[in-house]
């Protein structure tokens, strides 16, 4: 009995030590809808560009983003992401050329099922079968964090471009701030109020989606105003332009998102509430086809769309650069990983959810 008690005591002591070492107090989840692994890891794809524009070499995008090697091209496309975030502060999984794979567990490979898997930690293909699915019947990690952090209505937020997030992000509307597309919410921030006014005057080509610019600026202003502890920022234009087969704008959207990552990181590093205390996960809801025929598509008939990527930037992870020769990780592990950064156990809410990505915390 003494040996058993001693073992339990040692285990609890070690666990307590690990907990004490965690620096994270805030988490940020960022999604780039349908952003292919091919552009993330390889930058501009000339074959795809040529297939939609025979004069592609004369375009501003080609002149701006083309280079001799995939590494050079991706760094031109997303310079801050690759040269600063991944090189100095984080790591990224999903480059199959380096034998690193990230996959969805849902088999539908489109947005609502993908985002629900991300936010609930579990695929529900038997229930969620359409982007038109009504309110998510399953509680999300944001619901869990709102309850566990107990920090008020504005401390947890979902701010995204696509209107479906009003349905996806929670099974209890009104519990915390959920803002998407052209919706508004009560706020004391004059900056957010002005952005709400402008978003209704600068219309995107897609009725259910506002421009990502407004999503980012509203999210950043919300964090500044309310000291948000957990937030999901959902960008959408990478997917919309791909469906339109407007490859030039896909590239421009990735490049613009990179500039917002730079701005967000600058804020996180300069604000005492967030500096050295914030973990970020960046990922996508699904992949896309890899050929000139199906690069703009995804769904059950495009198996390539199950392949995604995942980046981790955290003061509590020592990993840097690209993952190589690693085990496959899955989309359903994101929710638990976010909670693990905060020393919370997501299994309390959903024992069936994916578990934290252990490699991220290997040296903790």
- Is 269 domain-assigned? yes
State the pLDDT at residue 21. 80
Residue 2 falls inside a structural domain: no
Q: Is residue 240 part of a domain?
A: yes
Instruction: In whole angstroms, give the CA distance from residue 230 to residue 298.
Output: 29
Q: What is the pTM of this model?
A: 0.94
The whole-number pLDDT of residue 11 equals 40
Residue at 237 is within a domain: yes
Which CATH number goes with the domain that contains 75? 3.40.720.10
Burial class of residue 48 in the structure, from the number of CB atoms within 10 Å of its CB (0-12 exposed, 13-18 middle, 19+ buried): buried
Judge whether 19 lies within some domain. Answer: no
Asked whether residue 41 is domain-assigned, the answer is: yes
Q: How far apart are CA 102 and CA 95, in angstroms?
A: 8
Confidence at residue 364, expressed as pLDDT on a 0 to 100 scale: 56
Question: Looking at residue 170, what is its pLDDT?
Answer: 98
* pLDDT averages per 10-residue partition of the chain, 364 residues: 38 41 95 98 98 97 98 98 98 98 98 98 98 98 96 92 98 96 96 97 96 98 97 98 98 98 98 97 98 97 98 97 98 98 98 98 78
Query: What pLDDT is attached to residue 5?
Result: 37
Boundaries of domain holding 218: 24-361
> What is the Cα–Cα distance from 200 to 148, expressed in whole angstroms?
35
- The domain total for the chain is 1
In a domain, 264, yes or no: yes
Task: For residue 347, tell me if it sits in a domain.
Answer: yes
Edge to edge, what strands does the sheet with 156-160 contain? Answer: 177-180, 156-160, 230-235, 26-32, 278-283, 310-313, 90-93, 321-322
């Amino acid at each position: 009995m003494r040996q058993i008690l001693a073992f339990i005591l040692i285990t609890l002591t070690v666990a307590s030590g690990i907990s004490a070492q965690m620096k994270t107090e805030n988490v940020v989840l960022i999604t780039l809808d349908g952003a292919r692994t091919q552009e993330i890891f390889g930058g501009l794809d000339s074959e795809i560009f040529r297939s939609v524009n025979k004069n592609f070499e004369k375009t501003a995008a080609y002149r701006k983003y083309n280079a001799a090697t995939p590494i050079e091209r991706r760094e031109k496309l997303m310079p801050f992401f690759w040269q600063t975030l991944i090189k100095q502060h984080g790591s990224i999984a999903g480059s199959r050329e380096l034998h690193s794979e990230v996959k969805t567990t849902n088999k539908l490979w489109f947005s609502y099922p993908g985002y629900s898997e991300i936010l609930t930690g579990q695929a529900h293909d038997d229930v969620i079968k359409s982007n038109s699915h009504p309110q998510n019947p399953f509680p999300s990690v944001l619901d869990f964090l709102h309850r566990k952090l107990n920090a008020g209505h504005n401390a947890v937020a979902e701010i995204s471009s696509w209107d479906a997030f009003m349905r996806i992000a929670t099974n209890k509307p009104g519990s915390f701030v959920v803002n998407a597309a052209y919706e508004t919410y009560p706020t004391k921030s004059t900056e957010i109020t002005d952005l709400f006014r402008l978003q209704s005057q600068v219309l995107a080509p897609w009725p259910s989606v506002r421009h990502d610019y407004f999503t980012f600026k509203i999210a950043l202003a919300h964090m500044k105003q309310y000291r948000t502890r957990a937030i999901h920022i959902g960008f959408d234009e990478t997917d919309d332009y791909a469906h339109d087969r407007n490859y030039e704008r896909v590239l421009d959207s990735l490049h613009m998102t990179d500039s917002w990552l730079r701005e967000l990181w600058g804020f996180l590093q300069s604000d005492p509430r967030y500096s050295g205390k914030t973990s970020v996960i960046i990922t996508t809801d699904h992949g896309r086809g890899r050929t000139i025929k199906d690069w703009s598509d995804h769904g059950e008939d495009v198996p390539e769309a199950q392949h995604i990527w995942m980046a981790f930037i955290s003061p509590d992870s020592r990993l840097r650069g690209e993952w190589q020769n690693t085990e496959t990780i899955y989309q359903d592990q994101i929710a638990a990983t976010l909670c693990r950064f905060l020393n919370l156990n997501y299994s309390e809410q959903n024992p069936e959810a994916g578990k934290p990505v252990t490699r991220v915390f290997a040296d903790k």
